[in-house]
Structure 1
Amino acid sequence: MTLTLKQASRRLEQLCQAEHLNVFEHHNGVGRVVIPVLTEHVHTALDDGPAEQYEFFRARATHAHALNADFHICHNQVSVTVCHVTQTVKFGPGGQLIMGRRGIGLGPSLMATVIKWLHSKKIPTYSIEPGDLSRVDATTEGERLQRNRFYTAFGFSLWTTFTSERGLDVVDGHFGAVNVGCLTVPDRYQNRLRTWQAFENALGDERLEGVKNLAELKDIDRWISGKAWLSRLLLNFLKWPLPFRTRHKHPLKPWEVTPENTMTENLSVKQ
């Protein structure tokens, strides 16, 4: 029995192996939100088919409302199934791409990751099976335009089966492209994900800088405390932006740099 790409996809996603851990970051107006993104891949045969007939690749992000898990069964992910015998490709899951958090650029980042992987396979002539547009993302005109612009930005075409609607006007229809070579990744989505290693290194540098800054503030607090009201009056006159704290009177945490060491390091750098 010949499997459809949709059937193959359901079986391959059970066989895929975790490949890389990445990080997606965005600002919510208050602070930085970090969302882990996992890429998974498998290249194998199914049943009695030729060796390595199918490939499956998926990029999926953690979902805050997944049931007893970090990842949702179908949301917050973009996948692609490739058949090297029929030279066809199908996007998933199930053709419908649904993001649990919209408007933050997560969906485009996942799609960009999948398309860049497809380009790395050097299969520009492989045809693309149509996928279904999600009605969930088109309950209002604004949401419909946002959904349709998402697909067209990557080179997909949009159409309906029984009406003449095309492109941005499509409400309930399909997305697809002639072949993989028609798909592109806009510059604004090229580097939205960072590897976990790069993120961890940057986070360590930020923490070290924060620890040094805290040590310097404790030095200032100690000086203010020793000078009492006169020093506070002087700082108020100079419009010192931070209120006086007694940080230096609290025991140092194990990870804190001592103020003396910090000041010595700063003097050494200046010299």
Structure 2
Amino acid sequence: MATRERTLTGDRPQFSRRWTVTAADVAPWFTTRLKMRITFANDAPADGNARVIAAINDNPAALITLRTQLDGTRVFYDGYLSGPVTTVTKDDSITVDYENYPREGSVRPGINAFKVALQDNDGLVERVEIDPASGFAATTIAPDQLSIALPKELTAEVGEQFILPYEVSSRAERADRPLSVLVEKAGGPLELDRDHDEFSTTGAKRSGQFTGTAAEPGRYELRVAANGGYNPAAGTVVIDVKPASRRGPGLAAVVGAIALVAVAVLLFTGGRRRAERRRT
């Protein structure tokens, strides 16, 4: 298919491609992909908004939103495979590679239409070039291949170190890929020893932990996300930080102090007796 036919502009805002799927080829699941290069207009308005959408047989399959702001152009999309992605760029173009599971039943036996449309009433986009890899494909891999286990809540005192454990599990039929685990703060005076772990392969199960401290009492939230290149998994953990408790001296210190006092008393008493004997 010619590049021109795959290029969206204000004058030609739609692109459509058809696939024939036999009944035997209808798999348990499908994935959809929208890979494209978006070029922004030189005279884009300061408050411009635009969207690029995709559909399979008129069932929603992708949504990428664009917005100009003071620090550049914001590009946002969210999918089960990609997770939420927000990018702010000052470049004149950006590549987006969006993957997701379409709505169940979107692909059916017979002719299927994959459509992409540019919705841009503000003149934010000059053109969108659709990559030939865009479309949909059958897969036997279920959407819920990756999962993460986290504690719901942790308790710590101000200045005390807390430990946040995690365990990432992968079902056997999922393709094994490198795994990254990222912890993000949603504000609050939490200090973490690090913010991510990297594993060369996902395997059936990976576990680890992050440690941190809090400077002020309160309830704070941490988000932990695992991404193994197929579908991300994420969860949140509440850190309940209490004021630092007043701690007295430990048992060993108390025993030591008593011993020192006893020795001092003995020395003082013995010295006084010797002095009295010398006087007599």
Measured against the shorter chain, the TM-score band is under 0.3
For the pair shown, the structure with the greater C-alpha radius of gyration is 2
Q: Higher strand share goes to which structure?
A: 2
Q: Give the alignment's TM-score, normalised by structure 1.
A: 0.21
Q: Higher helix share goes to which structure?
A: 1
